[in-house]
Amino acid sequence: MQFSPRWLALVLSLTISLLTMGFLSLVNNTFGVLVVGFSIAFSTSFILFYFTLQFFILGDINDAFSILEKLKKKDFKLAKKQISNLSAIQKLNEELYAYATNKQKEIDHLQQLAIYRREFLADVSHELKTPIFATQGFIETLLDGAVDDEEVRYKFLEKASRSLEGLNNLVEDLFTLSQMEAKMITMHPKLFMIEDLILEVFEQLEDKAYQRNISLIVKNHGVKDVFADRNRITQVITNLVNNAIKYGKNDGKVEVQIHHSPPQKVLVEVIDNGTGISEEHLDRIFERFYRVEKSRSKEKGGSGLGLAIVKHIVEAHNHKVNVQSKVNEGTIFSFKLDTKEQSPNFDVIS
Ligand SMILES: Nc1ncnc2c1ncn2[C@@H]1O[C@H](COP(=O)(O)OP(=O)(O)O)[C@@H](O)[C@H]1O
Ligand SMILES: [Mg+2]
């Protein structure tokens, strides 16, 4: 709805000039005097009403309406610009604008959470079904008679056990991820030798690497301590090295390089010469349950949550994970860490 100050001024000034003419006709009934009286009364009152309405009242009200229109269309930028040009009763407009913007943001956030929850639930149930059905299948085969054949029995029990292990990994990763997303995990940063941590991770994964004849190499360019949550960074490096082995080439290599990155940061790079990831997938691999090759990745036993967890942990340290990759050449995952306590919003618990 828009008020036109011109029409309102016209109606009001016409009324006033007609009244003036009425009074004038009581004093002097000459046509010329009446016309002049009408014209003067009309033009002065029109100008007065028009400008008063335009500049002090209706202009502001119309601006408020057009801001509301824009808020309805969620055009916050334009609405804000318009507000900076306003005056007088605009305090009210500004309050309204701030209130509406905050409410809209809350609604958007809640809507996003609802979508997120729905998708998460669908993904989780889908992911849980796979190992449960597989285990069920192996056990049923055993019950149907395979249990009498010693060789088959062993093979099927081993398969069932692997499926259950996958299920256990998935549930653990899910638990970590849900706690991180609910911001229920607090980082406990302290100073530690990053090279020692990398060697510990290598020790944990050397059997896996050995099976594919992949060499695990650490190249330290003079880095000693970093200031971070040791357990969480262990999880990050484990997930990245684990992927580098899984998606690496047989007889290939996985290298973890650590460099100083001035000022007071350390750059960690996990480099493999494996399958690589094509451009269109690079932006999405950090999403939960996203896999480049669905069947092949599942075969390799991943939960599809490894990189989502990596991203959360690195971001909780106020840094970002980067990835560069070339198909059939290899992939580099990198992130930085602090060497001292330096971020004011870093949650330190001793
Ligand atoms: N080093 C890597 N080389 C090639 N592809 C990778 C590498 N790391 C991750 N990916 C791709 O990113 C996807 C997501 O990784 P991740 O979240 O760890 O899940 P998962 O390993 O359980 O499948 C993997 O399924 C794989 O397709
Ligand atoms: Mg993984």
Pocket of ligand 1 (CB under 6 A): 239, 243-244, 247, 272, 274-275, 277, 285, 290-293, 297, 302-308, 331
All CATH 3.30.565.10 domain ranges of the chain, comma separated, are 190-338
- pLDDT tens digit string along 142-166? 999 888 888 889 999 999 999 999 8
All CATH 1.10.287.130 domain ranges of the chain, comma separated, are 105-181
Q: How far is the CA of 303 from the centre of ligand 1 (A)?
A: 10
Q: How far is the CA of 328 from the centre of ligand 1 (A)?
A: 14
H/E element, 265: strand 265-272
pTM of the model: 0.70
Q: How far is the CA of 269 from the centre of ligand 2 (A)?
A: 16
- According to CATH, the superfamily of the domain at 190-338 is Histidine kinase-like ATPase, C-terminal domain (3.30.565.10)
Domain at 105-181, CATH from 1.20.1250.20, 2.40.160.20, 1.10.10.10, 1.10.287.130: 1.10.287.130
Q: Determine if the peptide bond prior to 263 is cis (ω within 30°).
A: yes
**How far is it, in rounded angstroms, from Cα 243 to Cα 189?**
25
Position 67 scores a pLDDT of 72
Query: Which backbone phi and psi does 81 adopt, to 5 degrees?
Result: -60, -45
Ligand 1 atom with the shortest distance to the CA of 290: 14
Q: How far is the CA of 61 from the centre of ligand 2 (A)?
A: 58
- pLDDT tens digit string along 221-231? 999 999 999 99
Query: Pocket of ligand 1, candidates 127, 167, 237, 247: which has the most ligand atoms within 8 Å of its Cβ, to mutate?
Result: 247
Pairing of strands 215-220, 253-261: parallel
Mean pLDDT of 94-115: 88
